[in-house]
Structure 1
């Protein structure tokens, strides 16, 4: 195959977006341990007017074909909010992104990356990061370690050879993201237990479950803490009001009160921890299809996800407490309570914490202290365009 054999089509309508998702699903089906996702949900994420990400972002989707047959796909997108953050936090002025990257050969990979870069240059971008599919809060990074086991909920899963194809086109590592495997049926070390018990005796601290009946207001509290806690982190882009409402609505079905915590200090919410049962376990069982009978398995799982793995995708402590003993104590208290609940109530055996920035010393120290081990590694690549 030569570069001239490859035709890159621009996706411009609803039919094209559906085809874009189908191309990705066809590639995913070839990757060992991948888990099929709900097609309608995937289409919604890339549809302006459906996903509020497009309230501050624009994108172009591409499908590569050879002799009329799809051989790859990619997105190029620009987040106006990401352009406003300081460059040392990852994005900044002139930084666009690519995502949803799939290719069946290095030649196709390079043709797709070239087309994405061409579009970004036409939009006056000078630098590109990726893969980020499509918001930094959705699926950031390329999986480069951990292909030997299925991904948990909301985690990307990619073949190992994609890394070489991206790097051979001039991209280098911009940031490494880690996830940690945690055996939830094992008690934390004695030191952590003492820290937790000390916090439980502190009358200033209250660690409570979220209340699902008032989930909209609870979600607003959580995302307000998140916007504050993560504001100095690499890759941070603030949630908008529309995104907070959208996230709250989408997450509600998988919110189980005993698994999600808000910590209060002197009656004020200052920290949170979200835990999602691994819906990928049921999606794998129904092959990502609700009909004709998948809905029955899904409803049963949503009623009580017994035995599911657990993922902690987000945790935050208000910035005013950063680098304090109180911050780590609150984190240990929430994690320990959820670990015990996952073990005793849901009969879970393992959990996953992440992603965590590899240079986030505080979170890495917490992960190490509870005897969790790195089980996945993702890379966000970067490249100057001019």
Structure 2
């Protein structure tokens, strides 16, 4: 079978890049189309700040009949380049029919471009942006995915591994069933935490999101410092994140812990908008957007009262290292638990427990969370003589929650 591959340049090709995914999953009832505009904006320099320190390309693969049968994107984030460390680019938004030759051509094309730009490896599938969305290859849990969570066909794993990609790190997502009581030890820890007069749990107001951004930035930059690919979050990025959260904002799902007046920890949960967006099939026009915004008032009351919105997901949890023995993780969960239940939420998915982070995995286990899905982030090193190393584990003594 012959294939042709071409870079995405025109508006028509950009639309076709989005359409490829719809064609690949046309018979898969578990796939929920990401919002086309959200994917489109990732590759628009005016919309994505990562273009300030990086670049990206996209390609579409066609068969002999001219039908689009695959796609891939490649990108370089120069902020991740560090002295004496392997400089890895990324590939993502990969879709392909079940054909190894087709997949190899997509991977080869991305690799060639990355090598021409002096990159030594490619990680994938990843996002040209934050790693809390569109990250990793799904290998377990082929059910309806939460919002911005990668979903793919099971055969994609063979396409990646047969090409030569190796398991760089694994990320599990685990679900707390809110209709079941938590372990009694959490009640005991919660009682002890409440007895400490200098510990407070606060939930930000929507009108205070600038303050939220400052607290988030302060905690994040201390909590993530031992991460192998850590780079400090800037005030601009923190404010952008706060603006994004505004659309998803349910106050009682975002607890912050304070020791005295010092921000010490955060737990950021959002409603799973895929329960709402599923019917949109990736397209959200002006009328649909207005209807969504209207129905999202009062903590998404319209959707909750009709049983449409019952799931949430924790997208980030962080605790400053010096406060990691204070029970703040438990305190944040317990400070919100009853209110979240009263809002009609039946489950919370705790996302992205990396296998390199023993502390977050221990926390997921302690709250009785059950595995829902697993993603793998792969790495392919271009120089076959260079040693492959998995992502560096974070020691228990220095690990952070996140």
TM-score calculated relative to the size of structure 2: 0.87
CA positional deviation for 1:29? 3.8
Worse overlay, 359-368 or 308-317:
359-368
Deviations 1:303-329 (A, max 9, x none): 2241420100100011333xx421xx1
1:269 counterpart residue number: 263
Deviations 1:276-310 (A, max 9, x none): 00110011133333348634652354222414201
Alignment of 1:320-359 (within 5 A): 320-321=322-323, 324-326=324-326, 329-344=327-342, 346-359=343-356
Distance 1:174 1:226 in 2: 23
Q: Is the contact between residue 199 and residue 259 of structure 2 (CA under 8 Å) also seen in structure 1?
A: yes
Q: Is the contact between residue 100 and residue 134 of structure 1 (CA under 8 Å) also seen in structure 2?
A: no
| Corresponding position: 1:33 with 2:30 | yes
2:178 counterpart residue number: 184
Distance 2:73 2:370 in 1: 33
Distance 2:311 2:158 in 1: 31
Match of 1:257 among 240, 245, 251: 251
Q: Is the contact between residue 204 and residue 212 of structure 2 (CA under 8 Å) also seen in structure 1?
A: yes
Distance 1:217 1:25 in 2: 40
Deviations 1:59-97 (A, max 9, x none): 11111112322111111111111223x88xxxx442111
> CA, structure 1 residues 286+384, in 2 after alignment: closer, same or farther (shift >3 Å)?
closer
5+ residue gaps, structure 2: 384-402
TM-score calculated relative to the size of structure 1: 0.91
Cα RMSD of the aligned pairs, angstroms, is 2.0
Match of 2:72 among 67, 71, 74: 74
Match of 1:94 among 82, 87, 105: 87
| Corresponding position: 1:279 with 2:273 | yes
Q: Is the contact between residue 178 and residue 354 of structure 1 (CA under 8 Å) also seen in structure 2?
A: yes
Distance 1:74 1:371 in 2: 38
1:120 counterpart residue number: 114
> CA, structure 1 residues 343+52, in 2 after alignment: closer, same or farther (shift >3 Å)?
same
Q: Is the contact between residue 134 and residue 150 of structure 2 (CA under 8 Å) also seen in structure 1?
A: yes
Q: Is the contact between residue 87 and residue 120 of structure 2 (CA under 8 Å) also seen in structure 1?
A: yes
Match of 2:138 among 136, 140, 143: 143
Q: Is the contact between residue 132 and residue 315 of structure 2 (CA under 8 Å) also seen in structure 1?
A: no
> CA, structure 1 residues 30+121, in 2 after alignment: closer, same or farther (shift >3 Å)?
farther
Distance 1:153 1:248 in 2: 17
1:162 counterpart residue number: 156
Q: Is the contact between residue 81 and residue 238 of structure 1 (CA under 8 Å) also seen in structure 2?
A: no
Match of 1:46 among 38, 43, 46: 43
Worse overlay, 135-144 or 308-317:
135-144
Number of aligned residues? 372
Q: Is the contact between residue 253 and residue 340 of structure 2 (CA under 8 Å) also seen in structure 1?
A: yes
Q: Is the contact between residue 98 and residue 130 of structure 1 (CA under 8 Å) also seen in structure 2?
A: yes
Q: Is the contact between residue 52 and residue 242 of structure 1 (CA under 8 Å) also seen in structure 2?
A: no
Q: Is the contact between residue 97 and residue 128 of structure 1 (CA under 8 Å) also seen in structure 2?
A: yes
| Corresponding position: 1:8 with 2:5 | yes
> CA, structure 1 residues 56+374, in 2 after alignment: closer, same or farther (shift >3 Å)?
same
Match of 1:315 among 314, 317, 321: 317
